[in-house]
């Protein structure tokens, strides 16, 4: 393994309060509930540009923007095979295998391109959003980006994306 540099960023405002429910492999679901999530990231690069991996002043607003987009939303995994999701007027209607039926305003809901709303999948989603925004705005890509999502103190999940070299 070759040497590399990394930055780790955690700010008090890297957080979001959201509700969700998990759908399990047998099609059952847990009750609708919420968390006060916290996020931290670690970005890695093999070399320094301007004596930095990436400027803290540039990455902090990006992470905050991604967190803010999730704040006060019901997170729904639109790629989950067990959910039926359709629109009715200004609402998303979500049907689950246990015949639960949710009708929720679109403005209060975020359909995520993930299979489930586990902390692991949410970390993956956040990682992809950060990577897209950094690449779009700065034409930069970390050699690896690690995103940790904490659901509650002492309980977190990590997603690590490594670029193919």
Cβ(114)–Cβ(102) below 8 Å:
no
- Higher local confidence (pLDDT), 4 or 147: 147
What pLDDT, on the 0 to 100 scale, is given for residue 46?
A: 87
- All domains in the chain, ordered by first residue: 5-72+117-162 (3.30.479.10)
**Which segment of 34-38, 85-89, 137-141 scores lowest on mean pLDDT?**
137-141
How does pLDDT run across 39-93, given as a tens digit for each residue?
999 999 988 888 989 999 999 999 999 999 999 999 999 999 999 999 999 999 9
pLDDT band for 163, please (50, 70, 90 cuts). confident
**pLDDT at 165 > cutoff 60:** no
What pLDDT, on the 0 to 100 scale, is given for residue 164?
A: 63
What is the C-alpha to C-alpha distance for residues 110 and 71, in angstroms, rounded to an integer? 10
Mean pLDDT on 12-26: 97
What is the C-alpha to C-alpha distance for residues 123 and 129, in angstroms, rounded to an integer? 10
Task: Please give, one letter per residue, the 3-state secondary structure of 81-136.
Answer: CCCEEEEECCEEEEECCCCCEEEEEHHHEEEECCCCCCHHHHHHHHHHHHHHHHHH
Distances (CA, A) of 154 to 62, 110, 120: 25, 26, 15
Q: Provide the percentage of residues in the chain whose pLDDT is more than 70.
A: 98
């Amino acid at each position: 393994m070759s040497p590399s540099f990394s930055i780790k960023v955690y700010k008090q405002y890297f957080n979001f309060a959201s509700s969700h429910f998990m759908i399990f492999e047998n099609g059952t679901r847990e009750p609708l509930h919420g968390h006060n999530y916290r996020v931290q990231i670690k970005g890695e690069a093999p070399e320094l540009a301007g004596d930095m991996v990436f400027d803290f002043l540039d990455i902090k607003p990006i992470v905050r923007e991604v967190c803010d987009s999730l704040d006060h939303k019901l997170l729904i995994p639109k790629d989950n095979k067990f959910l039926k999701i359709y629109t009715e007027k200004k609402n998303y209607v979500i049907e689950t295998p246990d015949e639960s039926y949710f009708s929720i305003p679109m403005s209060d809901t975020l359909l995520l391109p993930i299979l489930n709303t586990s902390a692991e999948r949410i970390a993956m989603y956040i990682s992809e959003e950060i990577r897209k925004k950094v690449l779009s705005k700065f034409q930069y890509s970390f050699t690896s980006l690690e995103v940790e999502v904490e659901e509650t103190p002492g309980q977190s999940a990590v997603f690590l994306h490594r670029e193919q070299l």
